[in-house]
Amino acid sequence: MQNNVSNDDLAIFLVVVREGGFRAASRRLGIAPSKVSTTISRMEASLGVPLLRRTTRSVATTDAGQALADRIAPLFAGLEEACAEAADTAGRVRGRLTLNVPGAVMPDILPPLLSKFHARHPDVEVEIVVENGLVDIVKAGCDAGIRYDDALEKDMVSIPIGPRTQQSALAASPAYLEARGTPRGPEELTRHDAIRYRLADGPLLPWSLVDDFRTVTVQPATRLILSVNALDSGLRYARTGIGIIGTFRNWLEEDFAAGTLVPVLPNMWPSRNGPRLYYPSRFTTAPLRAFIEICRCGSDRV
């Protein structure tokens, strides 16, 4: 005999058993008593066994009916629990977010954003891959990347992340400036020792200043070269008095406040656009969408 019993039929049968009658079940389910009775009769015909003993005053299960109720009750309870869990976690984001970023954003731009992100989405695991060159983030298996606007991949959507603008700055320790003097213009920088950074397998990062609205590139005497992968470590060498360092102004604020480093030619420091988060337009995961929201809220700093 073919079994045509549906899950809806089983759910109605279970309510009848729990409520002890057709009318009580109909009130619980919000359907007509006749539909409840018809459903049970159809089930019994399909299964080929009586499930309920009916009297004018009560309904009781047969052995087969009780056995069926015992078997399906835990299953429906599990479904109800799963639905409750789904409702409870509505809006929660889970999964993994992989970001490909340059070292320049690691010390002070990313930490507060990730702190907010983890507070709001604690079930997301974040992996940060630090690379300073151009990277195909799709091929690299990353969800998104962060770069400055002159090094963004084509065919990508991008939004500001962190400060809208950043200023490049020069600084040196008080001991160095006392011993060597403080430069008064770009031409005097060429007679000073410099701590400079080199791009991976590339040239030294240039020192540029703004003089009378003109951009001037300076070539100081290089005394220490560091990889851009060690951007934030250069401040330690500058504090020892090795030479003048060129880096982001936001990295120097604590040293300026403490007096461990002193600004050099601050009226000539150039500005540039801040970093941007970029990602493929055709697909974004739930963790990435959540991170984009955090970035949009935190990109109002200037």
* Longest pairwise C-alpha distance within the chain: 109
Q: Does the structure show a pLDDT above 90 at 82?
A: no
Q: Does the structure show a pLDDT above 80 at 74?
A: yes
Give the pTM.
Answer: 0.62
What does DSSP say about strands 276-280 and 52-54: parallel, antiparallel, or unpaired? unpaired
Amino acid at 70: D
Average pLDDT score, the chain: 86
pLDDT at site 301? 44
**Dist. CA 193–CA 222, nearest whole Å:** 6
Ranked by mean pLDDT, the top range of 22-36, 71-85, 245-259 is 245-259
Answer whether 265's CB lies under 8 Å from 172's CB: no
Domains annotated for the chain, with CATH where assigned, are: 7-85 (1.10.10.10), 95-155+275-298 (3.40.190.10), 165-273 (3.40.190.290)
pLDDT digits (tens, 9 = 90+) for 91-149: 688 889 999 998 888 888 999 999 999 999 999 999 999 887 777 787 788 899 998 87
Of 2 and 22, the structure prediction assigns the larger pLDDT to 22
**Dist. CA 50–CA 33, nearest whole Å:** 19
229: confidence class by pLDDT, cuts 50, 70, 90: low
Q: Picking from 47-56, 105-114, 197-206, 218-227, which range would have the lowest pLDDT averaged per residue? A: 197-206
pLDDT at site 300? 46
Pair of tokens at residue 236: 């330690």
What does DSSP say about strands 52-54 and 59-61: parallel, antiparallel, or unpaired? antiparallel
pLDDT at site 12? 92
pLDDT digits (tens, 9 = 90+) for 176-199: 999 999 999 999 999 999 999 887
pLDDT at site 162? 85
What does DSSP say about strands 95-101 and 144-147: parallel, antiparallel, or unpaired? parallel
